[in-house]
Amino acid sequence: MNLHDSITTLKGVGPKKAEAFGRLDIHTLRDLALTVPRSYEDRRDTVSIENLKEGEAAVFQGMVDRIVPSRFRGRRGQVLKLLVSDDTGSVEVVFFNASYLKRAFTPGKEYAFYGRPSRSNRTRVLQVIHPDFAKAGDFEQGIVPIYPLTKGITQREMRRIQASIRPLYDELEEYLPPQTMDRSNLCDIGYALHNMHFPEDGQKLKEAKYRLIFDEFLILELGLLAAKNRTGGAGGIAFAKNDWEQEYIESLTYTLTTAQQRCVAEIKADLESQRAMNRLLQGDVGSGKTAVAEIAMYKAVRNGYQAVMMAPTEILARQHYEGIRKSFAAHGIKTGFLSGSMKVSEKRQVLERIAGHDLDVLIGTHAVIQEGVEFANLGLVITDEQHRFGVNQRVLLKNKGKNINVMVMTATPIPRTLAVVLYGDLDVSIIDELPPGRKEIITRCAVPGKQNSAEVLRQKCYDFVDRQIKAGRQAYVVAPLIDDSEAIDARSATEIYEELSVRFEKVALLHGSMKQEEKDRIMEAFAEGKIDILVATVVIEVGINVPNATVMVVENAERFGLAQLHQLRGRVGRGQHQSYCFLMIGNNTELARKRGKIMEDSSDGFYIAEEDLKLRGPGEIFGTRQHGLPDMKIADMSRHMDVLSGARNEAVRILEQDPELTKDENQKLKERVTDLFGEDMTLTL
């Protein structure tokens, strides 16, 4: 048995099981060895039931006193409830849609459980939902790895199979250069694998995790920096060194903020330099990124070039088009629009005009990167809400011309240090100032307690929504789930939609599983005032400008990252009316209260992003993984900033000494970079 053998050489892995492993991208024993746990459960100590704490996972042991008969509970199906006790107290153990487990328990027998206690929203009784369990004495304890799974493979099975190949860990050849390992104080790959899969103690696990997290970040940064070095070294389109952009700035009906002026100066320097611009423009919601983009496009057009802007949805693209077309028309600049939903004849006309330079600026969706879109003289490419696009899409757009200047924009506020390492192939400009006179959104955190239950607080909130609607305003209600979940005790968008539809007349439901055309239709109806309340998932995190929407309600707000909550809050407060954001807390923990206080006290997205990092709350700072970058199996950009910075410094050092990774000691490292980024992406070396 060796690392290159197929997964089917293992006992108990036939064609069906091999297919399941294939879904996890595990085909060989080497793939299996390198499949690292996504987390760990510390099951070393057993806690008495009276010492169980809300929100803190623990091992506890007790006797099953009673099995409560199954009953139906909405979409969660049948509920199996156990009353478990020890000498110190009792706790409910709950399994949704799992009545078959009734046969696994015998009243009067002892069992061990591992789970996270919480209080029921309805009865406030302490309960543990869907814990891992076994008969007393058979329970797996210690530092237990938790692997990414798929249908057909269980955690216990994955741990058993990993144990069967453990002797092979030492066969994996080291791929990091010796100098890198010495400089960064890294353990070797064999030691790391042994202690990732079967940690002897916390210190050895820490050493192993550090090595593998460093690995992922080093290879990520090598790929990004190599791309930046190539684009930075390439000759770009150098615009004339003049003040043509001032013409446009002076025509604006408002004065640019100091932050906008600084960003314009940075972009101007890029556009007038001999190298192609590759810049990220980052700014909070309402900070004026579009105005900066318009100034850059104006400069491109006055230099005889065309400019294109790509937005992630048709509604957002059309919104940009309407505003930019009107602004540019006064200067004789012709602006066109392109989307996938347009009629063939309309598309053909736009394509002919852009190819013949009868259009100076093109605004559109991903349709602008499709085959057949040819520009006469493209000089500037801009993508809005860049994290919604893959790196590949950005590259396709850039390839519409030669040595084109590129600017990507995002309203996701992230700390400058994180932006620099995350967007390793981009220079960074930040608009960290809002225009004067903007009304602050009043934010209130609704925390259930002895005085007010969650239901009472919810009714007060929707009474307020009712008053706003009667005053002619609109509201968003956001939930973390589309439908009720068997394992997660949180309210779903579908459940809320059904409840609100009884009380309010014009309510709509929006979520990511809908077709794009349907989502666009609903958002358009909301923008036109045909819908009073839009119930949605985070699909509306990046949406359109609806000035009449004045209320944002976020259910189970503790399940969202702070930066994501700030993005959601930014959907309101865009008009002349005072706006409000209500954060409904479902699980009243100290962390939830801290995060709610930060949201109540600050409207500064960059401060909130910094606090998000400090708290190291659930999820990444983006709420979802950054689109277009390779998936990280173990590293977390919001929690491992120190490791990320160190890995970036090492990547810079390696590429300074060996820009193409051609030296013998870097060959295996080069293979890893290519494996991670894939041959189909231009970021490969």
CATH code at 456?
3.40.50.300
CA distance 130 to 127: 10
Contact indicator for 275, 235 with CB cutoff of 8 Å: yes
Do residues 394 and 476 both lie within one domain? Answer: no
pLDDT band at 102 (very low <50, low <70, confident <90, very high): confident
Whose CA is closest to 93, among 71, 126, 122?
126
With a pLDDT cut of 90, the percent of the chain lying above it is: 43
449: in domain: yes
Residues 260 and 301 in one domain: yes
Cβ neighbourhood burial of 465 (10 Å; 0-12, 13-18, 19+): buried
pLDDT interval class at 319 (50, 70, 90): confident
Last residue of a domain, one of 602, 630, 662: 602
Q: Is the dihedral of CA 322, 327, 328, 331 positive or negative?
A: positive
- Over range 642-662, report the average pLDDT: 89
Domain count, the chain: 3
Q: Which residues pair with 71 in a beta bridge?
A: 79
Say whether both 389 and 459 belong to one domain. Answer: no
Place 70 in a pLDDT band, splitting at 50, 70 and 90.
low
386 and 505 co-located in one domain? no
- Quick one: 243 and 379 in the same domain? yes
**383 and 465 assigned to the same domain:** no
Which residues constitute the domain of residue 580? 442-602
- How far is the C-alpha of 682 from the C-alpha of 685, rounded, in Å? 8
Identify the domain boundary among 97, 125, 140.
140
pLDDT of residue 622: 36
Rounded (5°) CA angle 619-622-625: 75
Position with higher pLDDT, 586 vs 86 = 86
- If asked whether residues 527 and 479 sit together in one domain, one would say yes
pLDDT above 60: residue 482: yes
Residues 369 and 470 in one domain: no
Average pLDDT over residues 584-596: 85
Q: How far apart are CA 670 and CA 664, in angstroms?
A: 10
CB 308 within 8 A of CB 378: yes
Does 544 reside within a domain?
yes
Is the pLDDT confidence value at 103 over 60?
Answer: yes
Contact 277, 406 (CB under 8 A): yes
Amino acid 6: pLDDT: 93
Residues 454 and 375 in one domain: no
Same-domain status, 250 and 292: yes
Higher-confidence position of 391 and 160: 160
The two beta strands, 39-43 and 142-146, are: antiparallel
Same domain, 404 and 489: no
Which residue type, as a one-letter code, is found at position 234?
A
Residue 266 lies in a domain: yes
Q: pLDDT tens across 169-186, in order?
A: 999 889 999 999 999 999
| pLDDT range class, residue 367, cuts 50, 70, 90 | confident
Of 288, 598, 284, nearest to 432 (Cα)?
A: 284
What is the reported pLDDT for 13? 92
Which of 567, 602, 637 represents a domain boundary (last residue)? 602
What average pLDDT does the structure give for the chain?
A: 84
**Pair (468, 589) in one structural domain:** yes
Tell me the per-residue pLDDT of 226-266, one tens digit each, with 9 for 90 and over.
766 655 545 678 898 888 889 899 999 889 999 999 999 99
Q: Is residue 355 part of a domain?
A: yes
Q: Is residue 325 in a domain?
A: yes
Using the predicted structure, report yes or no on whether residue 198 has a pLDDT greater than 50. Answer: yes
Higher-pLDDT residue of 475 and 516 is 475
**What is the predicted pLDDT for the residue at 684?**
34
Give the span between the Cα atoms of 218 and 465, in whole angstroms.
49
Instruction: Flag whether 420 is in a domain.
Output: no
Domain assignment of residue 463, yes or no:
yes
CATH of the domain at 90: 2.40.50.140
Is residue 474, in this structure, part of any structural domain at all? yes
pLDDT per residue over 528-549, tens digit each?
A: 999 999 999 877 755 667 889 9
Beta strands 533-536 and 474-478 are parallel
Residue 450: its pLDDT value, please? 67
pLDDT surpasses 80 at 438: no
Residue with tokens 């070294």: 233
